[in-house]
A and B are shown apart, each in its own frame.
Chain A
Amino acid sequence: MKLAFQLAYRNLLGAGLRTWLNVGVLSFAFVIIIFYNGWIDGWNQQARRDSIAWQYGFGQLQVATFDPFDPFSITDAHAALPAEDDHLTPVLLRLGTLYPQGRTMSIVVKGIDVNQTVVDLPTSALTASKSDLPAIIGEQMALASHLKTGDEVLLRWRDIHGTFDAATVTIAGVFPNQVPGIDKGQIWVPLKKLQDMTLMPDEATYFIADANFQHTEIAGWKYRSQEDLLYEINNIIKMKKMGGSVMYLLLLAIALLAIFDTQVLSVFRRQKEIGTYISLGMTRQQVVGLFTVEGAMTSIFAAVLGALYGTPLLGWIAHTGIAVPMNSQDLGIPIADRMYPVFGLGLILATLMLVVISATIVSFLPSRKIAKMDPVQALKGKIQ
């Protein structure tokens, strides 16, 4: 086997430009695969981190009939907890209509305890405001509604009986964030105020749990753990990963095709060499092994070359991040304005395995022909 590696190494170096073209293309595929997966992993980590910090906390206790994906469930999803729990922060959701500049915007009005600390929402701005009805909104909402801090806008809502009410809301703050779930199409107001406005004292739609919350079953309420709440994000990330893999697998396929072609050409052009190996005592299988090792070694060279230019390049990207256009927020998943890829050891090793194994397979396939060769004819250089 050692001989096979030595021969393969010499043969590859001897092949010159042909080898380095293959190595170059394969190394490019290698780096792209690591970059793309690192980018998705970085996005995943950022989305999870931001969602926990801004939206989910350590889990949520929701009214059983509340469905976050069905805005129509909001009207009836409200109740009071049988007993207060210091580890739960109440949030009350109501449907409303905002009228910025005479336009109609259907929104969700969210009431939250102004003294909460479980999520990063800057609710202190609500207490600092002298307005009768202060509200904070996210950057995306501010962009869509053309509202800024200090603006006043008319809000219409219904109380618990369905009676319309309307009042002027003062925007007490616009907070930058990357989480559409707490931003788009919604405004945040003091919980007590919203409870008074809607005649729903002590009621909430869901509670955000802190790290010390211990869940026990409560009739009419359902508990969704942090992982449960992150399930959708995980699914979207997985889907993006699958979708993106098509692109880099195509690139890999092109590189592998180049190796395959090279191997076919080698088996065709190096018949005398193959005959010589066999006449010197190598079995056909050993010769097949030699050619296969040559292909596999191409992938090792590609990994080394990829590491040479990929390490500084990807390291720099991981350090500076990649700017994301603002309208990318429309995907409905937390996306930072600058994403930082994460290149873990597991990802690099998995990619290395993928490239080496696939290169070995495509090298072996054309080499099988050697096993059927007549060594005498091969020595004569006759095409078989």
Chain B
Amino acid sequence: MKKYIVWIFFLAGSYSTSGQSTPDARLIISRIDENMSSRNRVILSDMIIHGRRNERILTAKTYAAGDNRSMTEYLAPEREEGTKMLKLEDRLWIYSPASDRTIQISGHLLKQSVMGSDLSYEDMMEDRKMTAIYDAQVIRNEQISGRDCWVLELNAKVPDVAYEKRVVWVDKIRYVPLQEELYAKSGQMLKKTTLSEVKQIQGRWFPTRINYKDMLKQGEGTDYIIREVAFDTDIPDYIFTKAVLTK
């Protein structure tokens, strides 16, 4: 999820002066990678997990600084209230108030689902720059939800990536990704991300609703809705320490 937020933040902060000519895809990706323009951000969000019989809504507040540090505290429902996740570089910890224990999520546990959603912890952990792991090219122009988009195809250029190929639809005017598809080596589409409700906040365009869907299984996937977001605020350093988990 963090990666998509990274994309959102980059794209929202990138050019709003784009012309209609096709730019170099690497340049777009490079700007996506580089443009983490906000020093930090605080996000209040809802994650709606659509199950087979019911749906769960998790409310969380996330503090993030750069690519590598973030802390998420779940505020609701009551069952999850107080659960915290801390990511520092390539390490991830989860604190559960019910057991009063902090667990480091590592190795194969990273492949597990986050709170039963369609997202895995691993999806949150990818820190590498897109240009470092993918070759990109603009393959066509297409409209998504009435918006003109460039369709970028990203093919892995290093072996150790989770997805061999990604296809991203980028709004030509706002430089916002509106859709992303993740593919297996065989060409089978595995996951699809749809970004919508693009708003201008603090001078940035960015989607406030993301639907994350595992294409191999039934269901509506997981919705991630940004209720509030603030960039470049003062986040105390202690927020990104393990001590904050048990507070």
* Residues of A bordering B, CB below 8 Å: 72, 75, 95, 97, 99, 101-104, 154, 156, 158-159, 161-167
Given A163-B159, A164-B164, residue A99 in contact with residue B185 (CB < 8 A)? no
- Which residue, of B159, B162, B217, B219, has the highest number of chain A Cβ atoms within 10 A? B217
A161-B107 in contact (CB<8A) = no
Contact with A along B140-168 (1 / 0, CB 8 A): 00000000000000001001111110000
Contact with A along B152-190 (1 / 0, CB 8 A): 000010011111100000000000000000101110101
Prevailing SS type, chain B contact patch: loop
A163-B156 in contact (CB<8A) = yes
Q: Does B108 contact A (CB under 8 A)?
A: yes
CB<8 Å pairs between A and B, sample of 5: A99-B216, A156-B188, A163-B184, A164-B185, A166-B190
- The 5 A-B pairs at the shortest CB distance, nearest first, are namely A102-B218, A166-B188, A72-B108, A161-B159, A166-B184
Given A72-B107, A72-B109, A75-B108, residue A163 in contact with residue B217 (CB < 8 A)? no
* Residues of B bordering A, CB below 8 Å: 107-109, 156, 159-164, 182, 184-186, 188, 190, 214, 216-219
B156-A103 in contact (CB<8A) = no
Given A72-B107, A72-B109, A102-B217, residue A156 in contact with residue B160 (CB < 8 A)? no
A162-B162 in contact (CB<8A) = yes
Contacts of B217 in A (CB 8 A): 99, 102-104
Contacts of B109 in A (CB 8 A): 72
Instruction: Determine the distance from Cα of A158 to Cα of B161 in the docked complex, in whole angstroms.
Output: 10
**Shortest beta-carbon distance, A98 to chain B, in Å?**
9
Contacts of A99 in B (CB 8 A): 216-217
Nearest CB to that of B161 among chain A residues?
A163
- Which residue, of B109, B159, B184, B219, has the highest number of chain A Cβ atoms within 10 A? B184
Instruction: Determine the distance from Cα of A103 to Cα of B216 in the docked complex, in whole angstroms.
Output: 8
B162-A166 in contact (CB<8A) = no
Given A156-B184, A156-B190, residue A163 in contact with residue B216 (CB < 8 A)? no
Instruction: Determine the distance from Cα of A276 to Cα of B216 in the docked complex, in whole angstroms.
Output: 92
A162-B160 in contact (CB<8A) = yes
Instruction: Determine the distance from Cα of A95 to Cα of B107 in the docked complex, in whole angstroms.
Output: 14
Instruction: Determine the distance from Cα of A158 to Cα of B184 in the docked complex, in whole angstroms.
Output: 9
Instruction: Determine the distance from Cα of A161 to Cα of B216 in the docked complex, in whole angstroms.
Output: 21
Contacts of A72 in B (CB 8 A): 107-109
19 more contacts with CB within 8 A, not counting A72-B107, A158-B162, A164-B190, are A72-B108, A72-B109, A75-B108, A97-B216, A99-B217, A102-B216, A104-B216, A154-B216, A156-B184, A162-B162, A163-B159, A164-B162, A164-B182, A165-B164, A165-B185, A165-B188, A166-B184, A166-B186, A166-B216
**Shortest beta-carbon distance, B191 to chain A, in Å?**
9
Instruction: Determine the distance from Cα of A158 to Cα of B218 in the docked complex, in whole angstroms.
Output: 21
Q: Which of B161, B186, B214, B218 contacts A165 (CB 8 A)?
A: B186
Contacts of B184 in A (CB 8 A): 156, 163-166
- Which residue, of B162, B182, B185, has the highest number of chain A Cβ atoms within 10 A? B185
Contacts of B164 in A (CB 8 A): 163-165
B216-A156 in contact (CB<8A) = yes
Nearest CB to that of B191 among chain A residues?
A164
Nearest CB to that of B214 among chain A residues?
A104
Contacts of A166 in B (CB 8 A): 184, 186, 188, 190, 216
**Shortest beta-carbon distance, A95 to chain B, in Å?**
8
Nearest CB to that of B163 among chain A residues?
A164
Contacts of A165 in B (CB 8 A): 164, 184-186, 188
**Shortest beta-carbon distance, B179 to chain A, in Å?**
19
Contacts of B156 in A (CB 8 A): 163
Contacts of A101 in B (CB 8 A): 218
Contacts of B107 in A (CB 8 A): 72, 75
- Which residue, of A75, A104, A162, A163, has the highest number of chain B Cβ atoms within 10 A? A163
Q: Which of B108, B160, B161, B188 contacts A167 (CB 8 A)?
A: B188
A163-B160 in contact (CB<8A) = yes
**Shortest beta-carbon distance, B172 to chain A, in Å?**
30
Nearest CB to that of B109 among chain A residues?
A72
**Shortest beta-carbon distance, A237 to chain B, in Å?**
32
Instruction: Determine the distance from Cα of A99 to Cα of B188 in the docked complex, in whole angstroms.
Output: 13
A161-B190 in contact (CB<8A) = no
Nearest CB to that of B189 among chain A residues?
A166
Instruction: Determine the distance from Cα of A156 to Cα of B214 in the docked complex, in whole angstroms.
Output: 12
Contacts of B190 in A (CB 8 A): 156, 164, 166
